Amino acid sequence: MNTIKKIFFDSKSKEEYADLYIKYLVSVITNISTAEISRFIDTMILAQTEGSSIYFIGNGGSASTASHFANDISIGTKSIRAPFRAISLCDNQAIITAIANDYGYEYIFSKQLEIVLDKGDVVVAISASGNSKNLIKAAKVAKIMGATTVSLTAFDGGELKRISDIAIHIPTKDGEYGPSEDAHMILDHLVSNYLMYFVEEAELSEQ
């Protein structure tokens, strides 16, 4: 039984369920590797410095996280002089459905990357299981094309964790999508806020 299901059945009230869920989420977050987060931030800054693009990909709830990440890093950092060129490849339904129809759903991201990816770009794949075929194909294409691959995973990390250059893993049990995706969104705000203040400090120092 996963932890959230156990919390549900053990709770005597909605308030207790909320309390235990929050406490469990905190315990999960405290076990994320801050060293890997630091590497991720450094990779974002290097991409900004070199004018490289950062592509976010994911399925389902992770697709919305990918879009949220791209928004927060490209627009939320408020960097005009040297912008973070962050883009979600989850948002163009015409392209996604064309690739899915003509090649297969497992190619919806890799085919896009084959067209737009340059050496030195960054590909961030978001997946709780780490075993989505379309993300694994995309990560492999990215590595062949000379991009840096970053994965945000959970459960046991799957193949995606094993093949990524940088792997930020959320230590949850299999099937615990709620805390896993909660933590991915916390990473979004943690990283994008750091980058926003990094940009602000850099621009102030130039004045």
Residues 161-190 pLDDT 10s = 999 999 999 999 999 999 999 999 999 999
Task: Name 125's bridge partners.
Answer: 57, 151
Task: Name 152's bridge partners.
Answer: 126, 168
Report d(CA 7, CA 1) in Å as an integer. 10
pLDDT of residue 207 exceeding 80: no
If asked whether residues 45 and 71 sit together in one domain, one would say yes
If asked whether residues 24 and 109 sit together in one domain, one would say no
Tokens 């879009």 belong to: 67
If asked whether residues 22 and 85 sit together in one domain, one would say no
If asked whether residues 25 and 99 sit together in one domain, one would say no
Q: Give me the number of domains the chain comprises.
A: 2
pLDDT tens sequence across 74-125:
999 998 788 999 999 999 999 999 999 999 999 999 999 999 999 999 999 9
Residues constituting the chain: 207
If asked whether residues 20 and 82 sit together in one domain, one would say no
The 3-state DSSP class for residue 63 equals helix
If asked whether residues 45 and 73 sit together in one domain, one would say yes
Q: How many helices (H) and strands (E) does the chain have?
A: 9, 5
DSSP class of 132 = -
DSSP class of 175 = T
If asked whether residues 56 and 100 sit together in one domain, one would say yes
If asked whether residues 106 and 128 sit together in one domain, one would say yes
Find all residues with CB under 8 Å of 101, minimum gap 6, and list them: none
Q: Which structural domain, as residue segments, surrounds residue 20?
A: 1-30
Residue 134, CA distances (Å) to 44, 93, 120, 151, 152 in order = 23, 16, 21, 13, 15
Q: What is the mean pLDDT of residues 52-69?
A: 98
